[in-house]
Copies of this chain bind each other. A is one copy, B any other.
């Protein structure tokens, strides 16, 4: 006897609604990690009961949103060709990922009560790995400074991306300006110091 369940093809509106809910949850939770299920359903344009029809409880929904976001981030980062010039590589990394990576903080706050530290760490490490890989490449070439830990440089990388997103949201920076200033700032963080510190 086969264990394979016959896969009922889900109805079109059902999958559409489920997607809408995840999208809405991403929006709401990025804005406020404590956003209520009602709020998310409202933004998704869907009844509250429908939401619970697709996700058993808050934990399941938050988990789905968190996982999808991390997967997307990992995919975008993985698409960067690591063989090209290191600076170009870094620029691509910034360009392709700052929009999605900046949500990490609020989303993490929403997921924290449900996921174990190791689970969070596992999800987090996947996108971080690509960044670290580029950092290591730059180090081995002598392009990047080596007097600070990889961990610290990685943290600063994320931090600056997040800062840009926050400034944009607050209306103090435009997306075009961000595209210009971000690579320059990251570059400043990583380039070897020219003169000895005073």
Please tell me if the beta carbons of B184 and A156 are within 8 angstroms of each other in the complex.
no
The answer to whether residues A184 and B148 also contact, given A87-B198, A160-B156 and a CB cut-off of 8 A, is: yes
Which among A149, A163, A194, A198 has the greatest number of chain B C-beta atoms within 10 A? A163
Which residues of chain B are within 8 angstroms of A167 by Cβ–Cβ distance?
151-152, 155
Query: Is A188 in contact with B184, judged by CB distance below 8 angstroms?
Result: no
Kindly state whether residue A189 has any CB partner on chain B within 8 Å.
Answer: yes
Nearest CB in chain B to that of A172: its residue: B151
CA separation between A194 and B172, bound complex, in Å?
A: 28
In the complex, whether A115 has a CB less than 8 A from a CB of chain B is no
* A166 contacts chain B at the CB level, 8 A cutoff: yes
Taking CB atoms, residues of chain B closer than 8 Å to A173 are 151-152
Say yes or no: A156 contacts B172, CB within 8 Å. Answer: no
B155–A166 touching, CB < 8 Å: yes
Among residues of B, the one whose C-beta sits closest to the C-beta of A145 is B188
Complex: A152 Cα to B180 Cα, angstroms: 12
Which of B184, B193, B194 is A147 in contact with, Cβ under 8 Å?
Answer: B184
Q: Does A187 contact B (CB under 8 A)?
A: yes
